[in-house]
Structure 1
Amino acid sequence: MFEARCGLDGTGFTRPAVERQHRLVLPRSGAYLLRVNGRQSFVDTGAAVITRPGDELSVAHPLGCGDTFTAVELEPELDRWPASVHRLPLDDVADLQHRLLIASCRRGADRLAVAEQVFAIVARLEASSLPSGVPSSGAVRPGTAAVHRRLVAETQEVLAGGLFTYGLKEIAAEVNASPHHLSRIFRRVTGETLTGYRNRMRVRAVLADVQDGADCLRTLAARYGFADQAHLTRLMRRQVGLPPSAVKRLLAVETRMNIQRRCD
């Protein structure tokens, strides 16, 4: 297992690389485009990625490099998803579990404790990605469904670019859609409102900064478009079940940047 910051830059895709093992990639910050066996998807902090031996991988960074993530080598028996599945929804509980895993590794947790935390994350990912829990796109033609998914991906890319203060009208203008159409399609495809998604991404951006040593919640609230610190506190408590002060204590670690840390 290792924590890393991606240093690859450029809007074009890298040359395909062949994966050699089962790997779970958990995002901490940033966003990028991923192509697995020719199939492209947008990956931000709302999605984990699973790869398998023989997969051909390439990435692109239209928003710039610098995304951070944790890569976990999985035993094959832990990979219970269909071979065609590579992108997994990462809900708020799994996201916090991942950040606590990072904190545990940085504190020098033993291998057993780390393994149990990884198992808990895998179990959570399984629970949130069962077929019965996948939102339906409705009775639409495959071509229309693909257009809808592309619209959602473009919207997620806009928000990943840091435009958290934008309203629905401004976001819709960025993706050349009407506000009503965007709101309806986003919920149909993802199963959540655009406002709910934006709030989750804003809280995760705050968590990333806190884990990197940021201390002033008032500054973070202003940076990510919250009305004030109290607003940030309410949303964080709602999404992760803890107030910012408790999260800061749990994630208290060394603040020096580290390109790659291993927790064996």
Structure 2
Amino acid sequence: MGRSCRQCVARYAGSPGTGGCLGHVDGMRLFDARCGVRGVTYGPPAHETAHRLVLPRSGAYLVRINGREVFVDSATAILTRPGDELRVAHPLGCGDTFTAVHLDDGDGDRWPRAACHFRIDDTTDLHHRILVSACRRGTDALTAGEWLGTLLQRLNPDTGGYGPRRPATAVAHRRLVADTRELLADGRHTAGLTALAAQVNASPHHLSRIFRAVTGQTLTEYRNRMRVRAVLADLQDGEDCLRTLAARYGFADQSHLTRVVRRHLGRPPSTVRSLLR
């Protein structure tokens, strides 16, 4: 893959993040990055200079894009455009990892102007991680281009279809869901519904109902999805022991981990591990 321009051989210079270039693909640049912005609360605003798609792989944070707040974890991609005002907060601490794709103008405009975040399903997440591993190994530009093209096609804007009649109610419900996702991102993998509801000052029934209405999935489905993605991130970083990963992310044992991974990805962890190396 070509890395001829100065930006490509240099370290990632986006806002926020530092890291290395994965290469040129069909006029776009891919960067393997780790966020370096610190601060539990929102920092000063920055302004975007490019069409940039950010695909998280681990960690979680809050971002305001032109005043619109989005909770970002490995289930959410964000798209920013030149001139967008960005503010970032890390209530759980910094260090999240992500892939940044610098799009050309044509690819950046393939989605509606109002689109700034996208839900990432299980297949798209695995596709993204395989692309990163292939680029790290030095795959050819044609293969990487096909993988990236498929990845971009799979991204559909999160239109926020959930909408009570009162806007204030919708805001409150989305805040409740974001607070719950933050708890789960903070390692509460084994917390029950009652404990989670108490943490966000809601009844268990209300939390369960609102979470499903806003996200389209149950709390259990979402928690397992996030646990699987945490496992994938560790496998990609070189962890080999599935028993260790099962204990780390709250699975009953290695067999339980294998069943959940297979349910979400259609293949066992051992097969996934070979795809990510």
Q: How far off its partner does 1:135 sit? A: 4.5
Separation (CA, whole Å) in 1 of partners of 2:165 and 2:47: 35
Q: For the aligned residues, what is the CA RMSD? A: 1.4
Please show how residues 169-208 of structure 1 align to structure 2 within 5 Å: 169-208=194-233
1:83 match: secondary structure: coil
2:143 match: secondary structure: helix
2:41 match: secondary structure: coil
2:155 match: secondary structure: helix
Which residue is 2:31 aligned to? 2
Question: 2:143 matched to 1:113?
Answer: yes
Question: 2:55 matched to 1:30?
Answer: no
Q: Percent identity?
A: 62
Q: Which amino acid counterpart does residue 62 of structure 2 have in structure 1?
A: L
Q: Deviations over 1:33-52 (max 9, x none)?
A: 10111211111111001111
2:134 match: secondary structure: helix
Question: 2:178 matched to 1:150?
Answer: no
Separation (CA, whole Å) in 1 of partners of 2:229 and 2:40: 24
Cα 1:46/1:184, change in 2 over 3 Å: same
Question: 2:188 matched to 1:159?
Answer: no
Q: Which amino acid counterpart does residue 80 of structure 2 have in structure 1?
A: T
Scaled by the length of structure 2, the TM-score of the pair is 0.86
Q: Deviations over 1:157-179 (max 9, x none)?
A: 00010111101111111111111
Q: How far off its partner does 1:223 sit? A: 1.0
Contact 1:168 1:179 (8 Å CA) reproduced: yes
Uncovered stretches (5+) of structure 1, i.e. residues with no partner: 253-264
Which residue is 2:95 aligned to? 66
Q: Deviations over 1:240-263 (max 9, x none)?
A: 1110000111111xxxxxxxxxxx
Q: How far off its partner does 1:130 sit? A: 7.5
Separation (CA, whole Å) in 2 of partners of 1:112 and 1:223: 38
Separation (CA, whole Å) in 1 of partners of 2:76 and 2:133: 20
Q: How far off its partner does 1:122 sit? A: 0.8
Separation (CA, whole Å) in 1 of partners of 2:142 and 2:38: 36
1:54 match: secondary structure: coil
Uncovered stretches (5+) of structure 2, i.e. residues with no partner: 1-29
Which residue among 99, 104, 118 is the counterpart of 1:75?
Answer: 104
Which residue among 162, 168, 171 is the counterpart of 1:136?
Answer: 162
Cα 1:196/1:147, change in 2 over 3 Å: same
Report 1 or 2 for greater relative contact order, CA contacts < 8 Å, sequence distance ≥ 6. Answer: 1
Scaled by the length of structure 1, the TM-score of the pair is 0.90
Please show how residues 94-113 of structure 1 align to structure 2 within 5 Å: 94-113=124-143
